[in-house]
């Protein structure tokens, strides 16, 4: 490679994100495309900012980055909702979700997108050509769960059942999604009915922290998993959660949590550079990074 045609300066604004895997994933894929691409975490915790102070600082950091010539920022917890009002334009899906995780500066304007939901769809469809979305049960209706529920409906889920230890949260989320997707069915059920709900499920989307480092365990009984259903996992540290291992053993098609993390990065990289990242290459790099972090 004799010269670099394009250069990108990208940031990540969030709280406690200095060790994020996004910078090395983006930078490595950019090298494969012959791009000069610097991706820097802007960690409000490392800057000593907390709560309201951090919320006030996030739009200032975004504006400063824009003035300094940054091309884009990824936005993560806890700024995905509050950053929206500070943007010139918000993509329709991000507006429907009420959350932005990618901001691109284009033609003098800041444009917000959400690749959490699209990254989930990318991961699902990378793993299965045509996942059966006729009757999906989703466990967990919090932050990640909101994006995944929207993704499943956007991908064509005919019936989506939301279950959460907090039934009120699941019910409110289901009602909001039902309004957005009137031709599909969205309902909430008590967590106690999970075993019963899985009897007819074509897929299970797991969206809680159970199984991640520090939260070991299984969100469902292994005996409830049937080979006819697919299982998707949101946790990616570790990638091989107890649920992923049990679902494979049960003969289910499995989408591990790394698929969504990689899908999110693929979509963000595409928005920032206009180039298509290589899914399997980014996946391999991601798994290498996770192995190093676990080591």
3-state SS string over the chain? CCCCCCEEEEEEEECCCCCCCHHHHHHHHHHHCCCEEEEEEEECCCCCCCHHHHHHHHHHHHHHHHHCCCCEEEECCCCCCHHHHHCCEECHHHHHHCCCCEEEEECCEEEEECHHHHHHHHHHHHHCCCCCCCCEEEECCCHHHHHHHHHHHHCCCCEEEEEECCHHHHHHHHHHHHHHCCCCEEEEEEHHHHHHHHCCCCEEEECCCCCCCCCCCCCCCHHHCCCCCEEEECCCCCCCCHHHHHHHHCCCEEECHHHHHHHHHHHHHHHHHCCCCCHHHHHHHHHHHHHHHHC
Query: Does residue 105 sit in the same domain as residue 191?
Result: no
Whether 79 maps to a domain, the answer reads: yes
Tokens of 248: 């494979």
Counting residues of the chain whose pLDDT is more than 70, the rounded percentage is: 98
User: What pLDDT score was predicted for residue 44?
Assistant: 97
User: What pLDDT score was predicted for residue 294?
Assistant: 77
Query: Does residue 155 sit in the same domain as residue 224?
Result: yes
Which residues on adjacent β-strands are paired with residue 253?
230
User: CA–CA distance from 81 to each of 101, 260, 275 (Å)?
Assistant: 9, 20, 27
**CATH number for the domain that contains residue 166:** 3.40.50.720
Pair 3, 30: CB distance under 8 Å? no
Confidence (pTM) = 0.93
- As a whole number, the mean pLDDT across the chain is 95
What mean pLDDT comes out for the span 37-50? 97
What mean pLDDT comes out for the span 228-234? 98
Q: Provide the pLDDT confidence category of residue 6 given band limits of 50, 70 and 90.
A: confident
Whether 2 maps to a domain, the answer reads: no
More confident: 143 or 157? 157
User: What pLDDT score was predicted for residue 172?
Assistant: 97
Query: Does residue 127 sit in the same domain as residue 250?
Result: yes
- Output the CA torsion sign for 19, 281, 153, 131: negative
Q: Provide the pLDDT confidence category of residue 35 given band limits of 50, 70 and 90.
A: very high
Q: Provide the pLDDT confidence category of residue 5 given band limits of 50, 70 and 90.
A: low
Q: Is 207 helix (H, G, I), strand (E, B) or coil?
A: coil
What is the number of domains present in the chain? 2
Whether 75 maps to a domain, the answer reads: yes
Query: Does residue 121 sit in the same domain as residue 231?
Result: yes
What mean pLDDT comes out for the span 239-244? 97
**CATH number for the domain that contains residue 31:** 3.40.50.10860
User: What pLDDT score was predicted for residue 293?
Assistant: 83
Is 80 noted as a catalytic residue in this protein? yes
Strands 102-106 and 72-75, by their bridges, are antiparallel
Whether 1 maps to a domain, the answer reads: no
User: What pLDDT score was predicted for residue 272?
Assistant: 98
CA angle 143, 144, 148 (to 5 degrees): 125
pLDDT above 60: residue 103: yes
Minimum mean pLDDT range among 40-44, 114-118, 124-128: 124-128
The closest alpha carbon to 249, from 286, 216, 224, belongs to 224
Query: Does residue 97 sit in the same domain as residue 109?
Result: yes
- Domain span holding position 231: 117-255
User: What pLDDT score was predicted for residue 1?
Assistant: 39
pLDDT above 80: residue 205: yes
Pick the catalytic residue from 26, 61, 65, 80. Answer: 80
Strands 230-233 and 203-206, by their bridges, are parallel
Q: Is 89 helix (H, G, I), strand (E, B) or coil?
A: strand
């Amino acid at each position: 490679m004799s010269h670099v045609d394009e250069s990108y300066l990208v940031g990540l604004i969030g709280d406690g994100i200095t060790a994020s895997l996004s910078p090395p994933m983006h930078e490595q894929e950019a090298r494969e495309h012959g791009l000069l691409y610097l991706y820097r975490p802007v960690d409000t915790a490392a800057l000593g900012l907390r709560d309201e102070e951090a919320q006030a600082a996030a739009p200032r950091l975004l504006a400063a980055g824009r003035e300094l010539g940054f091309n884009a920022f990824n936005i993560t917890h806890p700024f995905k909702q509050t950053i929206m009002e500070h943007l010139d334009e918000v993509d329709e899906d991000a507006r429907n979700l009420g959350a932005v995780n990618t901001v691109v500066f284009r033609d003098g304007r800041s444009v917000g997108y959400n690749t959490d939901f699209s990254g989930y769809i990318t991961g699902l469809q990378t793993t299965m050509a045509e996942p059966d979305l006729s009757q999906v049960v989703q466990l967990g209706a919090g932050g990640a769960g909101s994006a995944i529920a929207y993704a499943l409906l956007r991908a064509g889920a005919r019936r989506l059942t939301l279950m959460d230890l907090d039934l009120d949260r699941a019910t409110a989320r289901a009602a909001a999604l039902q309004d957005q997707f009137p031709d599909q069915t969205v309902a909430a059920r008590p967590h106690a009915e999970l075993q019963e709900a899985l009897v007819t499920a074509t897929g299970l989307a797991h969206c809680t922290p159970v199984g991640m480092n520090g939260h070991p365990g299984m969100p469902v009984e292994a005996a409830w998993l049937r080979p006819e259903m697919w299982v998707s996992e949101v946790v990616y540290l570790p990638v091989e959660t107890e649920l992923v291992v049990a679902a494979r053993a049960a003969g289910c098609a499995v989408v591990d949590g790394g698929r969504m993390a990689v899908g999110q990065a693929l979509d963000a990289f595409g928005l920032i550079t206009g180039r298509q990242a290589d899914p399997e290459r980014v996946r391999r790099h991601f798994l290498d990074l996770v192995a190093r972090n676990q080591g």
